[in-house]
Amino acid sequence: MWITPPVLDDIVDRALREDLSGGDVTTQATVPAERLAVATARAKTPLVVAGALVFARVFERVDASVRFEALVEDGAAVASGTLVWRVRGPAQALLMAERTALNLTQRMCGTATLARAFVDALPEGSRTRVTDTRKTTPGLRVLERYAVRCGGAHNHRDNLGTAVLIKDNHIVAAGGIDAAVARARARAPHTTRVEVEVQSAEQLDEALSARADIIMLDNFSLEALRAAVTRARGHAVLEASGGVTLETIRDIAATGVDLVSVGALTHSAPAADLSLDLALA
């Protein structure tokens, strides 16, 4: 689970510019430049930890002399009150970076915590994968997708260039499922799999006839999902999608689908509650 340094620094630097474009009047006016401090991040509610690298990098971009210590590994579920990360360095730098570091990692921990809840809701022994979608916060997709993995779920396609996903409007524009799949096969790279979104049993049969690699079953009932699994077994990977909740995912997975995609993992995850406590070194 890795976020490449150039990508991470771009996100962190943009966030810091937003908060520090005019400096930090309060910190620079009240805290001596030579004063050293230590600051510790604490979980204020139960959560799944995600974002150590991001937390550290925010402080390092403000002052390269800041030293970071991870007290808990990413992916760990912790109780309220658990100390998660610690940074040491100039007090001014710690105060200037505090809000940006927490803003980014609170979102990440919230996403990881929700992802873990969905994974834990699967039937015992289930081989169904929970995946995210492209319904992410603009500019923060790489962080949110990393957090999804920390929570034990999986990622869907990273962007529009990493897989063919023929959805309802593509089908209309292409002139039908068979035409859309045929054109995708002819033009997409040979390493790219083809997925088709279907909304009925009739469209499922069309996608199977067109030899789609993956078929997304959009808002199918449980009965229709079970029938689709029987119909498509051995011919295509099946993905259930559409309005999946913590209350419904267990029954959806029990139908035997291979994947359940959940947009809520990224578009509706509440931020986790973290605080940063500072003390003089």
**Per-residue pLDDT averaged across 178-207, rounded?**
96
**Per-residue pLDDT averaged across 22-31, rounded?**
97
Nearest to 61 by CA among 31, 89, 30: 89
Please tell me the distance from the alpha carbon of residue 13 to that of residue 2, in angstroms, as a whole number: 18
Same domain, 191 and 115: no
Residue 2: the pLDDT is 75
Give the chain's domain count: 2
218 catalytically annotated: yes
> How much of the chain exceeds pLDDT 90, in percent?
98
**Per-residue pLDDT averaged across 99-106, rounded?**
98
139 domain residue, yes or no: no
Helix or strand run (H / E) with residue 40: strand 36-43
Out of 167, 185, 193, 231, the active site residue is 167
Same domain, 68 and 18: yes
CATH number (domain holding residue 100): 3.90.1170.20
pLDDT of 198-237, one tens digit each? Answer: 999 999 999 999 999 999 999 999 999 999 999 999 999 9
198 domain residue, yes or no: yes
Asked if pLDDT for residue 114 goes beyond 90, the answer is yes
127 domain residue, yes or no: no
Same domain, 178 and 257: yes
180 domain residue, yes or no: yes
Yes or no: say if 216 and 197 are a contact pair by the CB < 8 Å rule. Answer: yes
Residue 73's CB is within 10 A of a number of other CB atoms, namely: 10
Residue 1: the pLDDT is 58
> How much of the chain exceeds pLDDT 70, in percent?
100
Out of 86, 99, 193, 231, the active site residue is 99
70: left (phi over 0), alpha (psi -120 to 50) or beta: beta
Out of 132, 144, 195, 197, the active site residue is 197
Paired tokens of 150: 């920390």
* H helical segments located in the chain: 5-20, 25-30, 52-62, 91-120, 141-150, 168-174, 177-187, 201-209, 222-232, 249-254, 264-267
Same domain, 255 and 236: yes
Q: Which domain holds residue 175?
A: 154-261
pLDDT of 38-95, one tens digit each? Answer: 999 999 999 999 999 999 999 999 999 999 999 999 999 999 999 999 999 999 999 9
Nearest to 221 by CA among 190, 254, 247, 252: 252
Out of 24, 60, 206, 218, the active site residue is 218
Same domain, 276 and 242: no
Out of 135, 193, 226, 231, the active site residue is 135
197 catalytically annotated: yes
Same domain, 13 and 112: yes
pLDDT of 36-53, one tens digit each? Answer: 999 999 999 999 999 999
178 catalytically annotated: no
Same domain, 113 and 164: no
Same domain, 162 and 92: no
268: three-class secondary structure by DSSP: coil
Helices 91-120 & 141-150 angle (0-180, nearest 10): 60
**Per-residue pLDDT averaged across 118-127, rounded?**
96
